[in-house]
Amino acid sequence: MSAITWPEAYLPGFTDNFASNEAICAGLSAADIFPLLEQAHLWPSYYANSANIRFHNPQERVLKLGSRFYFETFGFPVEAEVVEYAPPASGEPARIAWHGWAGEGTDRLDVHHAWLVEDLPQNRVRILTQETQNGNPAKELAKTRPNPMLNGHQQWLDGLIAAATARKKKG
């Protein structure tokens, strides 16, 4: 199975916070999942912890490499830029990742949030989402129990799968 590609400054184990969530499910493909990730305006329809998504370029409707966008999550207003983008391709996993930031000075939070979506044998798909964070807010989040990152990203993953399943059934 494939792995997330990490920028050096966000390598897990060397950051202030890290969360990893994964699901493997039958009956879906990377082509079913990926559009729900790249169309950021759809996120609030299946993930309640995302809101007020706006592109810096009003003509953009779909995330792509270099897209700048804004959204709110975990109580943070996040500015973000897509730094990795590879849609589903035969034999290759789909990838999307963004660098996000919020706050300034000692309250600054910097994150790298990555998704990997890959088709597996027997009509299965693997969805992996991982996020690393740096900054004082990340240090506080890392100490919080229950862990809001693990729980929130699991809700995102579960909602993503439910939304893709519903879309596929509608045909």
Q: CB of 142 within 8 A of CB of 118?
A: no
Which ranges constitute the DSSP H helices of the chain? 30-38, 43-46, 136-143, 148-170
The tens digit of pLDDT for each residue in 107-127 reads: 999 999 999 999 999 999 999
Q: Per the omega criterion (within 30 degrees of 0), is the bond before 146 cis?
A: yes
Query: In the chain, helix, strand, coil percent, each to 5?
Result: 30, 40, 30
DSSP 83-111: EEEE--BTTB-EEEEEEEEE--GGG-EEE
Mean pLDDT of 126-154: 97
56-108 residue pLDDT tens: 999 999 999 999 999 999 889 999 999 999 999 999 999 999 999 999 999 99
Domain 12-170 falls under CATH 3.30.1490.20 = no
